[in-house]
Every structure is written in structure tokens, then in C-alpha cells.
Amino acid sequence: LDLGTGTGAIALALASERPDCEITAVDRMPDAVSLAQRNAQHLAIKNIHILQSDWFSALAGQQFAMIVSNPPYIDEQDPHLQQGDVRFEPLTALVAADSGMADIVHIIEQSRNALVSGGFLLLEHGWQQGEAVRQAFIFAGYHDVETCRDYGDNERVTLGRYYQ
């Protein structure tokens, strides 16, 4: 499951690399869902289901072995929002309340009901949020929590396993 799929880049890469897996991707914005569906068609990727959903709202009762997300994680006061390419991105795809942590914490908490026992959650986050994200995973009962660094040696993706 890819939450907040946007253009579908992450979900489509997973579907392409793992043709033996069925991938579900969701986004709350209808335009993003349409774009991800067009991208899937253009790439002739068949093992993907792209739905409109506000995080888990359209997925009631479904469980997944892995959930990935690059959710909004930038603080609304971050000066970088006025620089570079991010100026042209929809703010809802970038900005979250509570110093950028609101959507991350929501996903960590809600994913517990959507993961099979022993399932993985992987979340991209800001380079300065690694410790706070690890603590949120641990507080929510995840195990084997670790953070991976990006090519600039910044903490960028935190993952953990949840056992029912």
C-alpha cells in the first residue's frame, strides 16, 4: 500500500519491480489519482489498484504486508517553501501541522490496523525529524525500528514492524 501516492512514482516502481505482488495506491486528490492511473497505463503496469482515499478511509478492513508513504512533513513556517521547485507543488502535498509531524503520527497510529502481523511501515520524513519519527514508531508499539539515510547522509526514511 502506498499512501498519498501523488503521481504514483513509488507505487509504480514497486509494482514494476515486484510483478508478483498486487500494489494498492491511494491519494485524496482526484487529479493525483487520475495522473497516477495515466502513468500506470503509460507504463503498462497491471498489478496496481489506484483509489481515491483520505489515507485509510476507502480501505476499511483491508490489511497489507507493507505500507509506504512520502506524506506531507514540512512545517508550514519552513522558509524552503518559498524556494526552488517546491513553490509549484500543492501545499497539501508538502505541509503538515505540528511541525510537520501530524500526518506522520496519524499514519503510524492508523497503520497498526492495516498491517498484517509482522508487517512493515516505511515513512519518508524531513532530515531533522528522524528522532521524533523513531519515537512515534516506538510509542505506537512498532518493533525493529530503524532509520535509513539518503545520498546526502541525512536521515530520510524510518521503518518498523508491527505485530498484532
Cα separation, 115 vs 5, whole angstroms: 18
Closest CA to 73 of 58, 88, 91: 91
Q: Please give the pLDDT value at position 78.
A: 58
Domains of the chain: 1-62 (3.40.50.150), 71-164 (3.40.50.150)
Cβ burial 73-88 (10 Å sphere, 16+ → b, else e): bbbeebeebeeeeeee
pTM, two decimal places: 0.89
Each residue's pLDDT, cut to its tens digit, for the chain (164 residues) gives 999 999 999 999 999 999 999 999 999 999 999 999 999 999 999 999 999 999 999 998 999 999 999 997 665 665 555 565 555 566 565 655 566 678 899 999 999 999 999 999 999 998 889 999 999 999 999 999 999 999 999 999 999 999 98
Query: Number of helices (H) and strands (E), helices first, in the chain?
Result: 4, 9
